[in-house]
A and B are shown apart, each in its own frame.
Chain A
């Protein structure tokens, strides 16, 4: 079963709007949650991440909100730009020194000018 779930599968917003991408997980032991951004023809690249001890992480226009009790997090992209059009993957790290990340299926964001 999918341990990390993302919704919606695809999202279209207008330039300047806030895009909200959702993620939920099953394993309460997950302790690190990175978001990766992928443009067509390229590999994913780390965008922003959060540890489970925090409830919010900001980096410019990108903000993660984290709710540990509900096992949910969301990525907010403020003032969306056409250049933000990409696929966004939420991931979760297995605790300990295992070196493993579990990825969600991704949300494809289209920002219309």
Chain B
């Protein structure tokens, strides 16, 4: 079973704060994704990547940066956090494209006060 590990599991910050969410997958998957999950909006794609150094813009990218440093590691950066970014964030990976199974992590709950 593919493993996707997110850290931290919970994070509280203040408006204007700087936050980095981390994700590591150990299955040599090419694709990695960052989603946010909100009541009434479901899962929305923020950014994704198909390899180290690559970054693709998702559907709700404003206020977020991402970086894929290695095949295994994908980071989501909030440089000036706002209360609207309070959400549950999921990282996922897949072998090739979204037409293959996505493996999700357990999520990071972020609160911006």
Query: Using a CB–CB distance below 8 Å, which chain A residues touch chain B?
Result: 32, 34, 36, 41-46, 89, 93-94, 97-101, 103-106
Q: Does B104 contact A (CB under 8 A)?
A: yes
Cβ of A42: which chain B residues have Cβ within 8 Å of it?
106-107
Q: Does B98 contact A (CB under 8 A)?
A: yes
Once A and B bind, how many residue pairs between them come within 8 Å at the CB atom? 55
Q: Give the CA-CA distance A46 to B58 in the complex, in Å.
A: 21
Question: Of B31, B41, B90, B102, which is in contact with the most chain A CB atoms at under 10 Å from its CB?
Answer: B102
Interface with A: B11-19, B43-51, B67-75, which one? Answer: B43-51
Q: Are B92 and A43 in contact (CB under 8 A)?
A: yes
The smallest C-beta distance from A38 to any residue of chain B, in angstroms, reads 8
Q: Does B56 contact A (CB under 8 A)?
A: yes
Which residues from 1 to 49 on chain B have a C-beta closer than 8 Å to any C-beta of chain A? Answer: 4, 31, 33, 40-45, 48
Cβ of A45: which chain B residues have Cβ within 8 Å of it?
104
Q: Are B42 and A89 in contact (CB under 8 A)?
A: yes
Cβ of B42: which chain A residues have Cβ within 8 Å of it?
89, 103-106
Cβ of B58: which chain A residues have Cβ within 8 Å of it?
100
Q: Are A93 and B43 in contact (CB under 8 A)?
A: no
Cβ of A98: which chain B residues have Cβ within 8 Å of it?
97-98
Q: Give the CA-CA distance A67 to B79 in the complex, in Å.
A: 45
Q: Give the CA-CA distance A53 to B113 in the complex, in Å.
A: 48
A-B contact pairs, 5 of them (CB 8 A): A32-B98, A34-B102, A42-B107, A43-B92, A44-B104
Cβ of B41: which chain A residues have Cβ within 8 Å of it?
105
